[in-house]
């Protein structure tokens, strides 16, 4: 039987599943998306995002929502740095690494930890040769969306439960490699834009002989396959100086199957989460500089998640694109 304290700290650690970077992403620039993606025909992009995430309750494995114990104050701050580089007309690669600060008070105990989080390496193929953004839909070609297909490798550069740590409040990473297959479809008919993104991730099994600093009999563990999807709709305002302001609303869903230990299913594992977000992105006239302000929220209702915390987060990002 897992104690309420152990279960709560596991939930805090599980939040590391969520994306840590939020950069400009649009085939025609302007920052309407939420991933590290180069606009079409641009050569290099660098960016930084600072995000503050506040925890307020959690869902148990049956999807029932619970309030954190009185006096709890749980939060995480992440600074994510990323770069994307074009390697030819239709292919680009990216790298992103977060630095994490955990600031948590739980059951009259205070836990403050910081360290590098898990990094990601990505490759992306653009299945279109020209910018697909348009003002009118006169021909069939005008209806064609920007289609992206790629893969991302999560590298466990963070501090995991299998390192020399005391509890989940200390961790900054999952401790597993994961390969994600990604696809997204984006269409802009000014002033409107819409995006649908789908990810399927598979973890790599690993051997474990230590848990929270204590050495244990070796065993093999693998986390469950992960699926996530999102849909967004945005509107762009054109400012007289040539700058633009894009307002976007999004819905996201994430689920991860149950883990296995030496081939046996861990019935206490498996997670899911639904969330909403809003983003305001300002871009200069040539779309080389983008500032983004985002707010994400998870409803405090039953059956909107499982084995996961309810959180709200605020992030501010800046991205610069080179020709």
* Homologous superfamily in CATH for domain 4-322: Autotransporter beta-domain (2.40.128.130)
Question: Is there a contact between 53 and 15 (Cβ–Cβ < 8 Å)?
Answer: yes
pLDDT at 34: 56
How do strand 271-283 and strand 264-265 relate by DSSP bridges?
unpaired
pLDDT at 234: 95
Question: Is there a contact between 108 and 77 (Cβ–Cβ < 8 Å)?
Answer: no
| Minimum mean pLDDT range among 10-14, 70-74, 127-131, 313-317 | 10-14
119 preceded by a cis bond (ω within 30 of 0): no
- Average pLDDT of the segment spanning 198-214: 94
Q: pLDDT-based confidence at 31, cuts 50/70/90?
A: low
Tokens of 97: 């690494």
Question: Is there a contact between 236 and 26 (Cβ–Cβ < 8 Å)?
Answer: no
Q: Measure the CA–CA gap between 190 and 249, rounded to whole angstroms.
A: 16
pLDDT at 127: 95
The helix (run of H) or strand (run of E) holding residue 10 is helix 4-14
Whether the pLDDT of residue 273 is over 90: the answer is yes
Half-sphere exposure of 172 (CA within 13 A, CB side): 26
How do strand 119-126 and strand 178-189 relate by DSSP bridges?
unpaired
Cβ neighbours, 10 Å, residue 316: 14
pLDDT at 19: 46
- Average pLDDT of the segment spanning 234-251: 94
Q: Measure the CA–CA gap between 290 and 84, rounded to whole angstroms.
A: 15
317 exposure class (CB count in 10 Å sphere: 0-12, 13-18, 19+): buried
- What are the residue ranges spanned by the domains of the chain? 4-322
Whether the pLDDT of residue 113 is over 50: the answer is yes
Question: Is there a contact between 36 and 45 (Cβ–Cβ < 8 Å)?
Answer: yes
Whether the pLDDT of residue 9 is over 60: the answer is no
190-219 in b/e burial notation, b at 16+ Cβ within 10 A?
eeebbbebebebebeeeebeeebeeeeeee
pLDDT at 241: 85
Q: pLDDT-based confidence at 165, cuts 50/70/90?
A: confident
- Average pLDDT of the segment spanning 124-133: 92
The per-residue pLDDT for range 37-85, each reduced to its tens digit, is 888 889 999 999 999 999 999 999 999 999 988 888 889 999 999 999 9
Comparing 241 with 266, the larger pLDDT belongs to 266
The answer for residues whose C-beta is within 8 angstroms of residue 25's C-beta and 6 or more apart is 31, 32, 33, 34, 35, 36, 37
Average pLDDT, the chain: 88
Residue linked to tokens 């945005």: 234
Tokens of 231: 């849909």
Whether the pLDDT of residue 13 is over 50: the answer is no
pLDDT at 15: 46
Tokens of 63: 């999807």
Whether the pLDDT of residue 12 is over 70: the answer is no
Comparing 36 with 98, the larger pLDDT belongs to 98
């Amino acid at each position: 039987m897992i104690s309420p304290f152990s279960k709560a700290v596991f939930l805090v650690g599980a939040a590391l599943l969520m994306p840590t970077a939020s950069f400009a992403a649009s085939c025609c620039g302007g920052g309407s998306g939420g991933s590290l993606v180069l606009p079409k025909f641009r050569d290099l992009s660098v960016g930084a995002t600072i995000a503050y995430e506040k925890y307020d309750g959690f869902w148990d494995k049956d999807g029932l929502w619970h309030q954190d114990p009185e006096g709890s104050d749980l939060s995480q701050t992440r600074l994510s740095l990323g770069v994307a580089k074009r390697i030819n007309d239709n292919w680009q690669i990216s790298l992103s690494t977060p630095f994490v600060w955990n600031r948590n008070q739980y059951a009259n105990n205070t836990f403050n930890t910081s360290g590098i989080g898990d990094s990601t390496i990505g490759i992306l193929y653009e299945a279109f040769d020209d910018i697909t953004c348009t003002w009118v839909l006169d021909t069939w070609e005008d209806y064609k969306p920007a289609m992206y297909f790629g893969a991302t490798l999560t590298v466990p550069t963070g501090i995991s439960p299998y390192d020399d740590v005391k509890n989940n409040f200390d961790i900054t990473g999952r401790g597993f490699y994961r390969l994600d297959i990604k696809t997204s479809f984006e269409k802009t008919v000014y002033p409107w834009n819409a995006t649908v993104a789908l990810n399927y991730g598979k973890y790599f099994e690993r051997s474990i002989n230590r848990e929270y600093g204590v050495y244990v009999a070796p065993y093999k563990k693998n986390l469950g396959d992960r699926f996530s999807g999102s849909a967004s709709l945005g509107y762009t305002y054109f400012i007289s100086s040539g700058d633009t302001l894009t307002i976007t609303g999004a819905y996201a869903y994430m689920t991860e199957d149950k883990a296995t230990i030496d081939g046996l299913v861990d019935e206490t594992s498996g997670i899911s989460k639904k969330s909403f977000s809003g983003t305001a992105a300002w871009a200069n006239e040539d779309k080389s500089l983008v500032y983004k302000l985002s707010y994400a929220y998870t409803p405090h209702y039953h059956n909107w998640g499982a084995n996961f915390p309810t959180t709200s987060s605020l992030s501010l990002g800046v991205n610069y694109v080179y020709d």
